[in-house]
Amino acid sequence: MPANDSANPGKNVCFDITGHVVIVTGAGQGIGRAFAKALAKAGAFPVIAEMNSARAEAVASEIREAGHDALAIVADVSDAASVDAMVADVISRKGRLDMLINNAAIFSTLAMRPFEEIDLQEWDAVMRVNVTGSFLCARAVSKIMKEAGRGRIVNISSSAVSMGRPNYLHYVTSKAAVIGMTRAMARELGAYGITVNAIMPSATFTEVARATVTPEQRAAIAASQCIHRSQTPQDLVGMALFLASDASAFVTGQSLAVDGGATHR
27 phi-psi bin (left φ>0, alpha ψ -120 to 50, beta other): alpha
Provide long-range contacts, Cβ within 8 A and 24+ apart, for 206-212.
206/29, 206/30, 206/31, 206/33, 206/34, 206/232, 206/233, 207/29, 207/30, 208/29, 208/30, 208/108, 209/108, 210/108, 212/110, 212/111, 212/112
Active site residues: 171
pTM: 0.91
What CATH class has 21-257?
alpha beta
pLDDT in tens, the chain (265 residues): 334 444 455 454 589 999 999 999 999 999 999 999 999 999 999 999 999 999 999 999 999 999 999 999 999 999 999 999 999 999 999 999 999 999 999 998 999 999 999 999 999 999 999 999 999 999 999 999 999 999 999 999 999 999 998 999 999 999 999 999 999 999 999 999 999 999 999 877 676 766 667 788 878 888 888 889 888 899 999 999 999 999 999 999 999 999 999 898 6
The residues spanned by each domain of the chain are 21-257
Please tell me the predicted confidence (pLDDT) of residue 35: 98
